[in-house]
Amino acid sequence: MKKFSFPLERLLELRRLQEEMERAKLLRLAAEIGTLDQRRAELARLREGANADLRRTVHPGAEPRVGPLAALPYFRQRVARLDGRMLAERQRLERAAAEQRAELVRARQRSEVLETVRDKSFAEWRAAVDREQESLAGELYLAKWRHPEKGR
């Protein structure tokens, strides 16, 4: 009996490669989201640091220094704008990641269809091999039974 051969094996390999590429894209998007979250956390730390500096600068009963107080509204506006941009970018990345997850699912389904066909084809080939071996074994047994002196 000939060796098992799946005629669509190259296509299956291509589908698996496409699936891996889609998975890599999703991982890249997840990494971008993680990086953006780190940047937003750093921005929040800067904002809190500025507020803490302001609290240390302004004491009850002391005359406040004008420099830090004058710059604070601009700093807060700048931080708010940056945070807003980062939040919008994160939302965009989340949408892209959701689309990419859907694309990964579709790629996986395309691979699974071919894998199912391959498994079915292999099962049919295996059954044919088993039938052939059983038939051959039966013929050998009958040949030995008909000619017992040749079997020794």
CA 15 to chain CA centroid, Å, is: 15
Whole-number pLDDT of residue 103: 98
pLDDT (tens, 9 = 90+) of the chain, 152 residues, equals 789 999 999 999 999 999 999 999 999 999 999 999 999 999 999 888 887 777 776 666 656 565 666 777 888 899 999 999 999 999 999 999 999 999 999 999 999 999 999 999 999 999 999 999 999 888 888 888 777 666 55
- Residue given tokens 């002196």 in the structure block: 149
85, 89, 100, 101, 143 from 95: Cα distances, Å = 15, 10, 9, 10, 71
Return the C-alpha torsion angle 81, 83, 87, 92, nearest 10.
60
pLDDT of residue 73: 82
Give CA–CA dist 148/65, Å, rounded.
116
Identify which of 86, 97, 114 has the alpha carbon closest to the alpha carbon of residue 31. 97
In sequence order, which residues have a C-beta less than 8 Å from that of residue 57 and are 6 or more positions away?
Answer: 64, 65, 68
pLDDT computed for residue 64 by the predictor: 58
Confirm if 43 and 87 have CB atoms less than 8 A apart.
no
> Is-contact 93 40, C-beta < 8 A?
no
Nearest C-alpha neighbor of 8 from the set 128, 129, 121? 121
d(CA 27, CA 34): 10
